[in-house]
Amino acid sequence: MKKAVFLFSLLYLLSPSLASISVQAQVSDPTNWHFSQKSLGNGIYELSLKATLAPTWSIYSMYTPDGGPFQTILTFDKVDADFIMEGKATENEPSKKFDDIFGVEVWSFHHEYSITQKVKVLRPAVKVIRGSLEYQVCQEEQCILFDKSFEIAIEIEKGHPSEQKIASGEINNIIVKQSLAVENEAAADDSLWLFFWLSFLAGLAAVIMPCVFPMIPMTVLFFMHGKDVSKAQARLRALFFSFSIIVIYTVFGLLISVLLGPDFINWLSTNWLPNILFFVIFMVFAASFFGAFEIVLPSRLVNKADKQADRDGYIGSFFMAFTLVLVSFSCTVPIVGTVLVEAARGSVLRPIIGMLGFSLAVALPFGFFALFPSKLSKLPKSGGWLNSVKVVLGFIEVALGFKFLMVADQTYHWGLLDREVYIAIWIVVFFLQGLYLLGKIKFKNDSALIYIGVGRLVAVLATFTFVIYLIPGMFGAPLKALAGYLPPQESIDFDVNRIVRENVKGLHKELSKSGGNLNLQKGNELCEEPKYGDFLHLPHGLEGYFDFKQGLMCAKAQDKPIFIDFTGHGCVNCREMEQSVWSDPRILNLLKNEYVVIALYVDDKFTLDKADWQVGKDGKTKKTLGKKNADFQITHFNSNAQPNYILFDSRYTETHDHSSLLTDFQLQPSRAYSLDKNAFYEFLCKGITAYKERGVIAARN
């Protein structure tokens, strides 16, 4: 359902130059956290963790879709020993916007972020609950990763279950705490408007279903020819009938939000089981649209509603609307189900917004023709074209259904739906849809197609054009317009661009061995297979390392300076720098030929071998690759912002104090986020010059 592509953007109140300078000067946290608790009785407490953010900064949800920026991670100590969790943690309403770099909808908070978690204490002796938060905050120039410990005292006076504000004992050597003035205005969810209009379009599709469209003139004429009713009264009742449709569907959405709640909705968004269930549901809906069977409600329920509709006045109008909803169930339930499935994957407001948009579109033609009954004669007659619309929607249901299977496949690394397999399925689905529109395929309830009208021809052209657009995606084309619906680019096996790069590199090696010459840029030769290279990769065919010591040894052997890239999987600005700046041919040439590139991911969750564990500056043992790299950046370069680019002298030796700053070995002041390609190219050139000058001085001494 989410077809629109939005650029992830913020409104910035501070000067970019000042922000760029400040990140080099100190490690600071633009969030101000407050921790509290409230007793709910029977040993159950509601823990509250609230952060206010400085203007221009954002933090990311615990439930942001996979593949997006770094998710906030909340962990507690001694779970199951001192206390147990009561349900999942909930958050305030995030702002949601589709990001074309990550290819997913990004969930973020801009002014205030709050987490609520209910726990049940198991032992009366427990007085404090401890835990930690890992989170990333971003603004235009930088993203910063934090690891904050906290403790919340839960002692309260007997008979006073009211909320106790507790000063947290924060243990955090990583950050320098700041008191920042912030706005308390709630962040608006722009994606709700998008979802409203997409639901409205779904409602328009429902209007032209075979069990809805013929009811428009029948219903309007029923009201206009009522006994002892003036035309004005008839029109009012018809409008009330339309309003009742909106109320019925919207109340249905409200009940879903109230009954399911945010915990269940978050579970639907992230767990593999509901995604598989949604996939099956979509396939069942599609089979129904293709004519395999009809989804119907019990006749007793429909008959009862129909009897109530015979009553006079507005009560009869309401029950007639209710009867319409029930009678049209077999046609509209797949569309309503699609809206609700998409709604359930977002916030608690989405089912309400979705049903409001859907019902408004369904009610609109009834209200319009009630006001202007003379226009009824211009409606197209019912016929086989209605079933054709139904079948086309069935093909779309099949394509959308595979999106849910893809989410489960990517999350659990099953390898069932790699990018080319997924695209191949879509090509087949929409190719068959095109053949159907041409009349080459027929289903159970189809009428004979004598000729193709202009509207059908337009649909044929649009369908086959889309199929042709999909085909290059089988061979590595990015297909950016469909980024949110396709598996990531890295999952494709047959990537033509990657194969060409590898073949050219192999050809160059063979010619070099035989004394031949190929007029191509040589590029870096790796000294050995990079550690973690099986799951970490550099963009644009670059080769490098993901471990500082390994990259340092290679740079020494090749007598080259080092380009250190402190980056993260969830760093929006890092991806933008790679796409917009690194791709410049001049810059790419320098990175390939003049530097040894070391990319250090600060948010990677890979668990290191015990021999590679490291005690950080904060006294904690760093057991994951990301935490080890983050500690390295903070300890040696006094920074925790990403992206952060450092040009480093490979003549550094580890005889120096392990805990000391290594800024003396920087060839240039480090560089943060900036899309100025010329400045970045100059930055790299100055680093090369400085490296050579240092070598000359060292040789003289």
Q: What does the CA dihedral 91, 2, 205, 245 come to, rounded to 10 degrees? A: 10
pLDDT of 24 higher than 80: no
What's residue 260's pLDDT? 59
Per-residue confidence (pLDDT) for residue 680, from 0 to 100: 94
In the prediction, which pLDDT does 483 show? 54
Could you tell me if residue 97 is left (phi over 0), alpha (psi between -120 and 50 degrees) or otherwise beta? Answer: beta
- Smallest CA-to-CA distance from 612 within 596, 598, 626 is with 626
Mean pLDDT across the chain:
74
Residues in the chain: 701
User: Which residue type, as a one-letter code, is found at position 387?
Assistant: N
Question: Which two tokens mark 183?
Answer: 């706005």
Q: Answer with the residue of higher pLDDT: 53 or 232.
A: 53
Is the pLDDT at 295 greater than 70? The verdict is: no
Please determine, for residue 381, whether its predicted confidence score (pLDDT) is greater than 70: no
- Report yes or no: 524 and 561 within 8 Å, Cβ to Cβ: no
More confident site: 232 or 655: 232
CB atoms within 10 A of CB 454: 7
Q: Which of the pair, 484 or 394, is modelled with greater confidence?
A: 394
SS3 76: strand
| pLDDT surpasses 50 at 277 | yes
Pull the structure tokens for residue 680: 């970045």
Count of Cβ atoms closer than 10 Å to residue 401 Cβ: 22
When pLDDT is averaged across residues 560-580 and rounded to a whole number, the result is 83
> Average pLDDT of 489-509?
60
Q: Which of 458, 475, 454, 476 is nearest to 466 (CA)?
A: 458
More confident residue, 461 or 517: 461
Is residue 484 within 8 A of residue 105, CB to CB? The reply is yes
| 655 band by pLDDT with thresholds 50, 70 and 90 | low
Write the pLDDT tens digit of every residue in 98-144. 876 776 788 889 889 999 998 888 777 778 888 888 888 887 667 78
Poorest-pLDDT segment among 77-91, 280-294, 306-320, 524-538: 306-320
- Quick one: pLDDT at residue 5? 34
> Is the pLDDT confidence value at 178 over 80?
no
- Asked whether residue 79 carries a pLDDT value surpassing 90, the answer given is no
Q: Is the pLDDT of residue 53 over 50?
A: yes
Average pLDDT over residues 338-358: 68
Per-residue burial over 527-547, b if 16 or more Cβ lie within 10 Å, else e, is: beebebeeebebeebbbbbbb
Q: Is the pLDDT of residue 203 over 90?
A: no
pLDDT at 437: 92
Does 230 score more than 60 pLDDT?
Answer: yes
Provide the pLDDT confidence category of residue 451 given band limits of 50, 70 and 90: confident
Measured distance CA(89)–CA(423) in Å, rounded: 36
Q: Which residue is it, tokens 């939005």?
A: 6
How does strand 614-615 pair with strand 621-622? antiparallel
Nearest Cα neighbor of 444 from 289, 214, 296 is 289
Spell out a b/e string for 350-372, using b for 16 or more CB atoms within 10 Å of the CB, else e: bbbbbbbbbbbbbbbbbbebbee
pLDDT at 547 over 80: yes
What was the pLDDT predicted at 189?
43
- pLDDT the model gives residue 548: 93
Residue 344 pLDDT class (50, 70, 90 cuts) = low
Q: Number of H helices and number of E strands within the chain? A: 18, 18
Question: Taking 70 as the threshold, does the pLDDT of residue 509 lie above it?
Answer: no
Bridge partners, residue 90, by sequence? 116
Q: Mean pLDDT throughout 213-225?
A: 65
* pLDDT given for residue 49 in this prediction: 92
pLDDT band with cut points at 50, 70 and 90 for residue 506: low
Task: Report the 10 Å Cβ neighbour count for 303.
Answer: 11
Nearest Cα neighbor of 282 from 177, 375, 173, 393 is 393
Residue 660: predicted pLDDT: 66
Mean pLDDT (whole number) for 80-85: 77
Highest mean pLDDT among 157-166, 329-338, 402-411, 690-699: 690-699
What burial class does residue 381 get, using C-beta atoms within 10 Å of its C-beta: 0-12 exposed, 13-18 middle, 19+ buried? exposed
Measure the CA–CA gap between 349 and 342, rounded to whole angstroms: 12
Residue 159's pLDDT band (cuts 50, 70, 90): very low
Q: Which helix (H) or strand (E) holds 385?
A: helix 384-412
Distance CA 380, CA 382 (A): 7
Q: How many CB atoms lie within 10 A of CB 6?
A: 16
